């Protein structure tokens, strides 16, 4: 028997790798000779680096960069085993969790540190990138990152501007003469799970800036800046990001990648599973076990369990999902061969999310799954 375990993290409880380790224990308690393949997976946000390094091999690199307010910060990214592919989570340098709630300020916050991570990877020989852009503290249209890469943004008087949100409305020109060929020739695959355009009522500022500390006046100022900058981008690059789906991700970072660099925007789970050649990993499997903290209507919108299912269906491999909880609509969807919540209904949520409790519940649930499903499959 061959069983593949590819579950997303149970946020607040267990990482993807911890879910896999405990699920494997549950399987071995019933089937000690089973061929178990554990796959770390992620959706392009937190855990992207560990997922790809865990599956494809490689190393973690630590370097000093700037946080969203240009303060020194030690941040990590990954270089895969081939030596020329880097995996970066922008939140490691430019993420909201790096700030205390009292200092959130998307006018001042910058993605400069994310650009520094990219430059460090290029200096180490990388020319291909997987970038996760979730969890940003920024709404700078990607100008901070681009500044770190060598682009220069100027106002009407030719004065160089800082790459942050409050500078957007003043940008009138872009100078790419200082950008190295190694930057322009690198290829970027960017995990982008939102369709938010660059600006407008459904754009980056209106949808996400309030979560980053913007009041209504600041939101309007940021959106005006994004709208103005989108015209500069169009003039400089020929790319119209204003209404481009995904361009508003991470405060416009998605649009910056698309307009100025050789980039592709992709759903995060698809990016991760395709990068690790998930189809080959599951080939010949008898069962795939996937999961996440909660399976609900959002799961079908491209989250890890549904993308795992899509890959397995192509090879007619049954997929069982485990989760902390499940919504009524998901119970009735019939997408998976079966869905098993790991926590008894009587247990308190806080207790259920304790790592030790969640780990024990994963082991117990998976033990029940293989005790039930495998004998039925073989008989």
Q: Which residue has the tokens 């997929």?
A: 319
53 and 34 within one domain: no
227 and 110 within one domain: yes
- Report yes or no: 366 and 322 within 8 Å, Cβ to Cβ: yes
263 and 320 within one domain: no
22 and 111 within one domain: no
62 and 25 within one domain: no
118 and 62 within one domain: yes
Q: Is 226 inside any structural domain?
A: yes
335 and 260 within one domain: no
CATH code where residue 318 lies: 3.40.50.10350
235 and 184 within one domain: yes
- Report yes or no: 27 and 36 within 8 Å, Cβ to Cβ: yes
Q: How many domains does the chain have?
A: 2
Q: Is 275 inside any structural domain?
A: no
Q: Check residue 302 and report its DSSP letter.
A: T
CATH code where residue 76 lies: 3.90.1510.10
3-state DSSP call for residue 64?
A: strand
Q: Is 277 inside any structural domain?
A: no
Q: Check residue 102 and report its DSSP letter.
A: G
Sign of CA dihedral 284, 268, 23, 363: negative
Domain boundary among 222, 253, 269: 269
Q: How far apart are CA 355 and CA 71, in angstroms?
A: 33
Range of the domain at 174: 48-269
Q: Which residue has the tokens 């060929």?
A: 181
Is the whole-model pTM more than 0.75? yes
254 and 114 within one domain: yes
- Containing 148, the helix (H) or strand (E) segment is helix 143-148
C-alpha distance from residue 25 to each of 33, 114, 278, 355, 367 (Å):
12, 38, 22, 16, 8
3-state DSSP call for residue 288?
A: strand
202 and 118 within one domain: yes
3-state DSSP call for residue 152?
A: strand
- Please give the chain's pLDDT, 379 residues, in tens: 999 999 999 988 999 999 999 999 999 999 999 999 999 999 888 889 999 998 899 999 999 999 999 999 999 999 999 999 999 999 999 999 999 989 999 999 999 999 999 999 999 999 999 999 989 999 999 999 999 999 999 999 999 999 999 999 999 999 999 999 999 999 999 999 889 999 999 999 999 999 999 999 999 999 999 999 999 999 999 999 999 999 999 999 999 999 999 999 999 999 999 999 999 999 999 999 999 999 988 888 889 999 999 999 999 999 999 999 888 777 777 789 999 999 887 777 788 889 999 999 999 999 999 988 665 454 4
């Amino acid at each position: 028997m061959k069983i593949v375990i590819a579950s997303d993290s149970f946020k607040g409880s267990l990482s993807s790798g911890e879910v896999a380790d405990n699920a494997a224990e549950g399987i071995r308690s019933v089937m000690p000779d089973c061929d178990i393949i554990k796959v770390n997976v992620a959706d392009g946000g937190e855990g992207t680096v560990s997922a790809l390094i865990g599956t494809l091999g490689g190393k973690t690199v630590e370097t000093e960069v700037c946080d969203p307010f240009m303060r020194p910060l030690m941040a990590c990214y990954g270089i895969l085993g081939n030596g020329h592919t880097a995996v970066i989570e922008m939140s490691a340098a430019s993420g909201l969790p790096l700030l205390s709630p009292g200092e959130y300020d998307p006018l001042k916050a910058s993605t400069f540190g994310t650009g520094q991570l990219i430059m460090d990877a290029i200096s180490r020989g990388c020319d291909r990138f997987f970038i996760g852009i979730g969890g940003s503290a920024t709404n700078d249209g990607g100008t901070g990152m681009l500044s770190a890469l060598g682009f220069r943004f100027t106002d009407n008087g030719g004065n160089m501007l800082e790459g942050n949100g409050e500078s957007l409305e003043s940008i009138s020109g872009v100078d790419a003469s200082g950008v190295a060929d190694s930057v322009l020739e690198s290829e970027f695959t960017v995990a982008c799970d939102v369709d938010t355009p660059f600006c407008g009522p459904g754009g980056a500022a209106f949808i996400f800036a309030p979560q980053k500390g913007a009041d209504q006046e600041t939101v309007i100022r940021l959106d005006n800046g994004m709208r103005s900058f989108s015209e500069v981008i169009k003039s400089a690059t020929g790319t119209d990001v204003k209404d481009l789906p995904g361009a508003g991700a991470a405060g416009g970072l998605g649009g910056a990648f698309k307009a100025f660099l050789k980039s592709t925007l992709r759903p995060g789970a698809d990016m991760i599973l395709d990068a690790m050649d998930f189809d080959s990993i599951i080939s010949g499997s008898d069962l795939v076990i996937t999961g996440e903290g909660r399976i609900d209507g959002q799961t079908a919108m491209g989250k890890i369990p549904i993308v795992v299912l899509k890959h397995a269906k192509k090879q007619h491999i049954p997929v069982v999902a485990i989760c902390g909880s499940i919504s009524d609509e998901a119970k009735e969807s019939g997408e998976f061969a079966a869905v098993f919540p790991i926590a008894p209904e009587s247990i308190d949520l806080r207790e259920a999310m304790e790592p030790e409790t969640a780990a024990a519940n994963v082991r117990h649930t998976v033990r029940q799954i293989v005790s039930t499903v495998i004998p039925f499959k073989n008989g």
